Amino acid sequence: MPIELEPLQACPPPAAVAGPPACAPWKASVVAELAEVVRNEPVNAEYRHLVVSCSEAAAQAQPGQFFQLLCPQPAGEQPFLRRPMSLYGADPAERQVAFLYKVTGAGTRGLDTLRTGDRLDIMGPLGVGFRLDPRWRRIIAVGRGAGLATLAPLARAAKANGTEVTAIFSARRPELLVSVALFERHGAEVIAVTDSESTSGPANVERILRREIAERGCDAFFTCGSSRLMRVQQRLAREFGLPGQVAMEQQMACGIGLCYCCVRDFNRDGEIVSRRVCWDGPVFDLMEALP
Amino acid sequence: MNAAVRPGPRSVDAVDLSVSIGGLRLRNPVMPASGTFGEGLGKALDFSRLGAFVTKTVTRELRAGNPLPRVVERPSSLINAIGIPSRGVPYFIAQTMPHYAAFDTPLVVSISAPTAEGFASLAAELSIPGIAAIEANISCPNIEEDGKAFAMRAESTERVTRLLRAATELPVWVKLTPNTGDVPEVARAAEAAGADAVVVANTILSMAIDLKTFKPCLGNIMGGLSGPAIKPIVLRQVFQCAKAVTIPIIGCGGIATAEDAVEYMLAGASAVQVGTATFLQPAAMTTIIDDLAAFCLHREIPRVTDLIRGVVIEEADEPDLSWLDPLP
Q: Which of A139-143, A174-178, B167-171 has the lowest mean pLDDT?
A: A174-178
From B187, B281, B252, B212, select the one nearest A32 (Cα to Cα). Answer: B281
* Residues A252-291 as b or e (16 or more Cβ within 10 Å = b): bbbbbbbbbbbbbebeeeeeeeebbbbbbbbbbebbbbee
How large is the average pLDDT for residues A265-276? 95
Write out the CATH class of domain A138-288: alpha beta
Q: What local confidence, expressed as pLDDT, does residue B147 receive?
A: 55
Q: How far is CA B90 from CA A281, B38, B59, B63, B172, in A?
A: 25, 17, 11, 14, 21
As a whole-number percent, the residues of chain B with pLDDT over 90 amount to: 88
Distant-in-sequence, close-in-space partners of B96: CB < 8 Å, separation ≥ 6: B39, B55, B58
Q: Is the pLDDT of residue B169 over 70?
A: yes
Distance, in Å, from the CA atom of A279 to the CA atom of B284, rounded to the nearest integer, reads 20
Instruction: Give B209 to chain A, closest Cα distance, Å.
Output: 16
Q: Is the pLDDT of residue B303 over 80?
A: yes
Can you tell me the mean pLDDT for B51-58?
98
**pLDDT greater than 50 at residue B259:** yes
Residue B7: give the domain boundaries: 3-324
A 249-268 residues with CB < 8 A to B: 250-251, 253-261, 263
Give Cα A11 distance to the centre of its chain: 16
Identify the CATH number of the domain defined by range A31-126. 2.40.30.10
Looking at residues A227-233, what average pLDDT do you find?
96
B229 φ/ψ angles, rounded to the nearest 5 degrees: -60, -30
Check residue B20 and give its pLDDT: 98
> Do the Cβ atoms of A251 and B78 come within 8 Å?
no
**Interchain CB contact of A272 with B (< 8 Å):** no
Express each pLDDT in A86-123 by its tens digit: 999 999 999 999 999 999 999 999 999 999 999 999 99
Give me the pLDDT at residue B317, please.
65
Residues of A in contact with B45 (CB under 8 A): 28
CB atoms near residue A45 (< 10 Å): 9
| pLDDT bracket for residue B211 (50, 70, 90) | very high
Predicted local distance difference test score (pLDDT) of residue B326:
58
Is B140 catalytic? The answer is yes
Q: Which residues of A touch B105 (CB under 8 A)?
A: none
Is A17 within 8 Å of B36 when comparing Cβ atoms?
no
Residue contact A259–B71, C-beta within 8 A: yes
| H helix runs in chain B, sequence order | 88-91, 116-125, 154-167, 183-192, 231-244, 258-267, 276-280, 284-298
Percentage of chain A exceeding pLDDT 70: 92
Q: What is the pLDDT of residue B190?
A: 98
CATH number (domain holding residue B179): 3.20.20.70
Average pLDDT, stretch B242-255? 98
pLDDT of residue B2 exceeding 70 = no
Q: Which of residues 117-136 of A touch B (CB under 8 A)?
A: 123
Interface contacts (A, B; CB < 8 Å): 117
Averaged pLDDT score across all residues of chain B: 93
A260/chain B closest Cα distance in angstroms: 7
Residue A9 has pLDDT above 50, yes or no: no
Omega before B7 cis (within 30°)? no
**A176 or B219, greater pLDDT:** B219
Say if CB A119 and CB A37 are below 8 A apart: yes
Residues A11-37: what's their mean pLDDT?
Answer: 70
Of B279, B41, B143, B96, nearest to A261 by C-alpha is B279
SS3 state at B189: helix
Handedness of CA A77, A80, A86, A90 (dihedral sign): positive
Average pLDDT, whole number, for chain A?
91
The domain tally of chain B equals 1
Q: Does A80 contact B82 at a Cβ distance shorter than 8 Å?
A: no
Return d(Cα A79, Cα A71) in angstroms, integer.
7
Q: What is the pLDDT of residue B142?
A: 47
* CA proximity to A30, closest of A236, A271, A278: A278
Mean pLDDT over B224-238 rounds to 98
Note the pLDDT of residue B144. 47
Q: Is the pLDDT of residue A157 over 60?
A: yes
Q: What is the mean pLDDT of residues A233-248?
A: 98
More confident residue, A10 or A192: A192
Q: Which site among A70, A82, A258, A271 would you substitute to test the B interface, given the most B Cβ atoms closer than 10 Å to its Cβ? A: A258
pLDDT category at A23 given cuts 50, 70, 90 is: low
Q: What is the mean pLDDT of residues A178-186?
A: 89
The Cα–Cα gap between B208 and B314 comes to: 40
How many CA within 13 A on the CB side of residue A136?
A: 25
Contact present, B17 and B304 (Cβ < 8 Å): yes
**Of the candidates B40, B78, B102, which has its C-beta nearest A258's C-beta?**
B40
Identify residue B1 by its one-letter amino acid code: M
Residue B327 has pLDDT above 70, yes or no: no
- Name the residue ranges covered by the structural domains of chain A: 31-126, 138-288
Instruction: Give yes or no for A116 touching B (CB within 8 A).
Output: no
A224 bridge partner residues: A143, A247
Closest partner residue to A18 among B43, B82, B278, by Cβ?
B43
Average pLDDT over residues B282-291: 98
Residue B59: CB atoms within 10 A of its CB come to 22
